[in-house]
Structure 1
Amino acid sequence: MTPPEGPVAGEDAEAAGCLAAVSCVSVLAKRADFLRAARARRQGTPGFLLQARLREAGEPADGIRIGFTCSKKIGNAVTRNRAKRRLREIARMVIPAHGREGWDYVLVGRPAATVERPFDVLLADLENALSRVHAQRHKEAGP
Protein backbone atom coordinates (compact mmCIF):
# COMPACT_ATOMS: atom_id res chain seq x y z
CA MET A 1 0.00 0.00 0.00
CA THR A 2 1.40 3.39 -0.99
CA PRO A 3 1.00 6.47 1.19
CA PRO A 4 -1.30 9.24 -0.04
CA GLU A 5 0.35 12.04 -1.93
CA GLY A 6 1.30 15.06 0.13
CA PRO A 7 0.36 18.64 -0.59
CA VAL A 8 1.64 20.28 -3.73
CA ALA A 9 3.93 23.20 -2.93
CA GLY A 10 5.93 25.89 -4.68
CA GLU A 11 6.26 25.70 -8.45
CA ASP A 12 4.41 22.38 -8.53
CA ALA A 13 1.33 24.12 -7.07
CA GLU A 14 1.46 26.72 -9.82
CA ALA A 15 1.82 24.01 -12.46
CA ALA A 16 -1.16 22.15 -10.98
CA GLY A 17 -3.25 25.30 -11.29
CA CYS A 18 -3.64 25.34 -7.52
CA LEU A 19 -6.95 23.45 -7.77
CA ALA A 20 -5.66 20.24 -6.25
CA ALA A 21 -3.01 21.94 -4.18
CA VAL A 22 -3.53 22.09 -0.46
CA SER A 23 -0.79 24.71 -0.15
CA CYS A 24 -3.00 27.33 -1.87
CA VAL A 25 -5.33 27.25 1.11
CA SER A 26 -3.94 28.12 4.53
CA VAL A 27 -5.65 27.66 7.87
CA LEU A 28 -6.71 30.52 10.13
CA ALA A 29 -5.16 30.18 13.56
CA LYS A 30 -5.43 33.57 15.27
CA ARG A 31 -8.53 34.57 17.20
CA ALA A 32 -8.43 38.04 15.67
CA ASP A 33 -8.84 36.54 12.18
CA PHE A 34 -11.91 34.59 13.33
CA LEU A 35 -13.40 37.73 14.90
CA ARG A 36 -12.86 39.77 11.72
CA ALA A 37 -14.58 37.04 9.68
CA ALA A 38 -17.48 36.97 12.17
CA ARG A 39 -18.11 40.69 11.54
CA ALA A 40 -18.17 40.23 7.75
CA ARG A 41 -20.53 38.45 5.37
CA ARG A 42 -22.51 35.45 6.55
CA GLN A 43 -24.41 32.79 4.69
CA GLY A 44 -26.36 30.20 6.62
CA THR A 45 -27.03 26.71 5.35
CA PRO A 46 -28.82 23.84 7.06
CA GLY A 47 -25.49 22.09 7.74
CA PHE A 48 -23.22 24.97 8.77
CA LEU A 49 -22.71 28.73 8.78
CA LEU A 50 -20.24 30.28 6.35
CA GLN A 51 -18.54 33.54 7.34
CA ALA A 52 -16.47 35.23 4.66
CA ARG A 53 -14.53 38.43 4.23
CA LEU A 54 -12.30 40.03 1.65
CA ARG A 55 -8.97 40.87 3.27
CA GLU A 56 -7.79 44.46 3.14
CA ALA A 57 -4.84 45.46 0.98
CA GLY A 58 -2.50 45.97 3.96
CA GLU A 59 -2.90 42.45 5.33
CA PRO A 60 0.15 40.28 4.63
CA ALA A 61 -1.42 36.87 3.91
CA ASP A 62 -1.82 35.77 0.31
CA GLY A 63 -4.14 33.14 -1.11
CA ILE A 64 -7.24 31.72 0.49
CA ARG A 65 -7.44 31.25 4.26
CA ILE A 66 -10.00 29.08 6.00
CA GLY A 67 -10.95 28.34 9.59
CA PHE A 68 -13.24 25.85 11.29
CA THR A 69 -15.08 26.07 14.58
CA CYS A 70 -17.56 23.95 16.47
CA SER A 71 -18.85 24.97 19.88
CA LYS A 72 -19.86 22.69 22.72
CA LYS A 73 -23.45 23.02 21.49
CA ILE A 74 -22.47 20.48 18.80
CA GLY A 75 -21.91 17.81 21.42
CA ASN A 76 -19.05 16.08 23.18
CA ALA A 77 -15.45 16.12 21.92
CA VAL A 78 -15.95 13.11 19.66
CA THR A 79 -18.94 14.74 17.94
CA ARG A 80 -17.19 18.11 17.61
CA ASN A 81 -14.13 16.48 16.09
CA ARG A 82 -16.25 14.53 13.62
CA ALA A 83 -18.07 17.73 12.63
CA LYS A 84 -14.76 19.55 12.10
CA ARG A 85 -13.37 16.65 10.03
CA ARG A 86 -16.43 16.80 7.79
CA LEU A 87 -16.13 20.60 7.44
CA ARG A 88 -12.42 20.29 6.61
CA GLU A 89 -13.14 17.71 3.93
CA ILE A 90 -15.88 19.69 2.19
CA ALA A 91 -13.62 22.76 2.31
CA ARG A 92 -10.75 20.76 0.82
CA MET A 93 -12.99 19.67 -2.04
CA VAL A 94 -14.83 22.94 -2.76
CA ILE A 95 -12.78 25.96 -1.66
CA PRO A 96 -9.86 25.62 -4.12
CA ALA A 97 -12.32 25.59 -7.04
CA HIS A 98 -14.96 28.07 -5.80
CA GLY A 99 -13.12 30.24 -3.26
CA ARG A 100 -11.50 33.51 -4.21
CA GLU A 101 -7.95 34.72 -3.76
CA GLY A 102 -7.59 37.19 -0.87
CA TRP A 103 -10.63 35.94 1.07
CA ASP A 104 -10.95 34.45 4.55
CA TYR A 105 -13.63 31.81 5.14
CA VAL A 106 -14.81 30.35 8.45
CA LEU A 107 -17.08 27.31 8.59
CA VAL A 108 -19.10 27.08 11.80
CA GLY A 109 -20.69 23.74 12.65
CA ARG A 110 -24.36 23.45 13.58
CA PRO A 111 -25.71 21.13 16.28
CA ALA A 112 -26.70 17.72 14.87
CA ALA A 113 -26.89 18.94 11.26
CA THR A 114 -23.15 19.08 10.51
CA VAL A 115 -22.66 15.49 11.63
CA GLU A 116 -25.93 13.99 10.36
CA ARG A 117 -26.44 15.77 7.03
CA PRO A 118 -25.49 13.65 3.98
CA PHE A 119 -22.01 14.48 2.74
CA ASP A 120 -23.00 15.23 -0.86
CA VAL A 121 -25.62 17.69 0.41
CA LEU A 122 -22.97 19.43 2.56
CA LEU A 123 -20.82 19.82 -0.56
CA ALA A 124 -23.71 21.40 -2.46
CA ASP A 125 -24.48 23.64 0.55
CA LEU A 126 -20.91 25.00 0.52
CA GLU A 127 -20.95 25.64 -3.23
CA ASN A 128 -24.26 27.51 -2.93
CA ALA A 129 -23.11 29.47 0.12
CA LEU A 130 -19.92 30.57 -1.65
CA SER A 131 -21.81 31.70 -4.73
CA ARG A 132 -24.21 33.71 -2.56
CA VAL A 133 -21.46 35.30 -0.50
CA HIS A 134 -19.59 36.37 -3.63
CA ALA A 135 -22.79 37.68 -5.24
CA GLN A 136 -23.55 40.03 -2.32
CA ARG A 137 -22.87 43.68 -3.04
CA HIS A 138 -21.14 46.00 -0.64
CA LYS A 139 -23.59 48.36 1.04
CA GLU A 140 -23.03 51.93 0.01
CA ALA A 141 -22.69 54.53 2.72
CA GLY A 142 -25.83 56.63 2.96
CA PRO A 143 -26.10 60.35 3.71
Structure 2
Amino acid sequence: MPARPPRLTQRREFQRAAARGQKVARPGLVLQALPQPGQALRVGFTVTKKVGNAVVRNRTKRRLREAARLLLGDGRVAGYDLVLIGRDATAGRDFRTLMGDLRGAMKQAGIAIPDRAE
Protein backbone atom coordinates (compact mmCIF):
# COMPACT_ATOMS: atom_id res chain seq x y z
CA MET A 1 0.00 0.00 0.00
CA PRO A 2 1.48 3.40 -0.97
CA ALA A 3 2.40 5.73 1.85
CA ARG A 4 1.15 9.26 2.21
CA PRO A 5 3.49 11.74 0.45
CA PRO A 6 4.98 14.52 2.65
CA ARG A 7 2.81 17.62 2.89
CA LEU A 8 3.09 21.32 2.29
CA THR A 9 1.74 22.88 5.47
CA GLN A 10 2.68 26.56 5.61
CA ARG A 11 0.93 29.33 3.74
CA ARG A 12 4.16 30.68 2.26
CA GLU A 13 4.86 27.28 0.64
CA PHE A 14 1.45 27.38 -1.08
CA GLN A 15 2.04 30.99 -2.15
CA ARG A 16 5.48 30.18 -3.58
CA ALA A 17 4.01 27.36 -5.68
CA ALA A 18 1.23 29.67 -6.88
CA ALA A 19 3.60 32.51 -7.76
CA ARG A 20 6.48 30.60 -9.36
CA GLY A 21 5.00 27.24 -10.30
CA GLN A 22 3.34 26.03 -13.45
CA LYS A 23 -0.45 25.88 -13.37
CA VAL A 24 -2.52 23.22 -15.14
CA ALA A 25 -6.32 23.17 -15.00
CA ARG A 26 -8.46 20.08 -15.51
CA PRO A 27 -12.21 19.64 -14.96
CA GLY A 28 -11.64 17.86 -11.63
CA LEU A 29 -8.71 19.84 -10.22
CA VAL A 30 -6.06 22.49 -10.68
CA LEU A 31 -2.40 21.52 -10.28
CA GLN A 32 0.35 23.96 -9.37
CA ALA A 33 3.80 22.41 -9.78
CA LEU A 34 7.01 24.04 -8.59
CA PRO A 35 10.28 22.21 -9.37
CA GLN A 36 12.52 21.72 -6.30
CA PRO A 37 15.60 19.88 -7.63
CA GLY A 38 17.26 17.66 -5.08
CA GLN A 39 14.29 17.76 -2.71
CA ALA A 40 11.66 15.17 -1.90
CA LEU A 41 8.16 15.43 -3.34
CA ARG A 42 5.77 17.45 -1.18
CA VAL A 43 2.05 17.84 -1.80
CA GLY A 44 -0.48 20.38 -0.53
CA PHE A 45 -4.27 20.39 -0.83
CA THR A 46 -6.70 23.28 -0.80
CA VAL A 47 -10.32 24.02 -1.64
CA THR A 48 -11.77 27.54 -1.62
CA LYS A 49 -14.95 28.49 0.18
CA LYS A 50 -16.56 29.01 -3.21
CA VAL A 51 -16.89 25.21 -3.37
CA GLY A 52 -19.94 24.06 -1.45
CA ASN A 53 -20.21 23.89 2.31
CA ALA A 54 -17.67 22.44 4.77
CA VAL A 55 -18.87 18.88 4.16
CA VAL A 56 -18.34 19.17 0.40
CA ARG A 57 -14.95 20.86 0.81
CA ASN A 58 -13.75 18.14 3.19
CA ARG A 59 -14.95 15.40 0.83
CA THR A 60 -13.14 17.15 -2.01
CA LYS A 61 -9.87 17.27 -0.05
CA ARG A 62 -10.20 13.61 1.00
CA ARG A 63 -10.62 12.56 -2.63
CA LEU A 64 -7.61 14.62 -3.70
CA ARG A 65 -5.49 13.19 -0.87
CA GLU A 66 -6.40 9.63 -1.84
CA ALA A 67 -5.69 10.24 -5.54
CA ALA A 68 -2.29 11.73 -4.64
CA ARG A 69 -1.52 8.85 -2.27
CA LEU A 70 -2.30 6.23 -4.92
CA LEU A 71 -0.41 8.00 -7.70
CA LEU A 72 2.52 9.55 -5.82
CA GLY A 73 2.84 7.67 -2.53
CA ASP A 74 5.41 5.12 -3.65
CA GLY A 75 8.22 7.66 -3.99
CA ARG A 76 8.76 7.36 -7.76
CA VAL A 77 8.38 11.12 -8.26
CA ALA A 78 10.70 13.58 -6.50
CA GLY A 79 11.88 17.15 -6.82
CA TYR A 80 8.53 18.98 -6.86
CA ASP A 81 6.20 20.91 -4.61
CA LEU A 82 2.66 20.19 -5.84
CA VAL A 83 -0.52 21.98 -4.84
CA LEU A 84 -3.81 20.31 -5.74
CA ILE A 85 -6.77 22.67 -5.76
CA GLY A 86 -10.25 21.20 -5.62
CA ARG A 87 -13.00 22.45 -7.91
CA ASP A 88 -16.79 22.23 -7.86
CA ALA A 89 -16.72 19.01 -9.88
CA THR A 90 -14.11 17.20 -7.72
CA ALA A 91 -16.45 15.87 -5.02
CA GLY A 92 -18.93 14.30 -7.44
CA ARG A 93 -16.51 13.20 -10.16
CA ASP A 94 -15.95 9.49 -10.80
CA PHE A 95 -12.75 8.51 -8.98
CA ARG A 96 -11.13 6.91 -12.05
CA THR A 97 -11.81 10.09 -13.99
CA LEU A 98 -10.34 12.16 -11.16
CA MET A 99 -7.20 9.98 -11.22
CA GLY A 100 -7.04 10.54 -14.98
CA ASP A 101 -7.32 14.28 -14.42
CA LEU A 102 -4.38 14.16 -12.01
CA ARG A 103 -2.27 12.01 -14.36
CA GLY A 104 -3.06 14.29 -17.30
CA ALA A 105 -2.30 17.45 -15.34
CA MET A 106 1.04 16.03 -14.22
CA LYS A 107 1.90 14.97 -17.77
CA GLN A 108 0.96 18.44 -19.07
CA ALA A 109 3.17 20.03 -16.38
CA GLY A 110 6.08 17.87 -17.53
CA ILE A 111 6.17 15.60 -14.49
CA ALA A 112 6.97 12.06 -15.55
CA ILE A 113 5.37 9.27 -13.55
CA PRO A 114 7.51 6.15 -14.05
CA ASP A 115 5.71 2.85 -14.59
CA ARG A 116 5.49 0.56 -11.59
CA ALA A 117 7.96 -2.30 -11.47
CA GLU A 118 5.65 -5.03 -10.20
Whether TM-score is above 0.5 comes out as yes
CA distance in 2, matches of 1:108, 1:21: 21
Residue 56 of structure 1 deviates from its aligned partner by 5.8
Percent sequence identity over aligned pairs? 43
In the superposition, the TM-score normalised over structure 2's length comes to: 0.84
Using the size of structure 1 for normalisation, the TM-score is: 0.70
Q: Which has the larger radius of gyration?
A: 1
Select which of 13, 20, 25 maps to 1:33.
13
Gaps spanning 5+ residues in structure 1: where? 6-19, 136-143
Following superposition, the deviation at residue 43 of structure 1 comes to 0.6
Q: CA RMSD in A?
A: 2.0
Structure with a larger share of its residues in helix: 1
Structure 1 segment 54-65 matched on structure 2, within 5 A? 54-55=35-36, 62-65=39-42
1:122 aligns with 2:98: yes
State the match for 2:30 in structure 1: 49
> Are the aligned partners of 2:17 and 2:32 in contact in 1 as well (CA < 8 Å)?
yes
**Structure with more relative contact order (C-alpha pairs < 8 Å, separation 6 or more):** 2
The list of structure 1 runs, each at least 4 consecutive aligned residues, that deviate by more than 3 angstroms after superposition, is 96-99
Distance in 2 between the 1:30 and 1:63 partners? 16
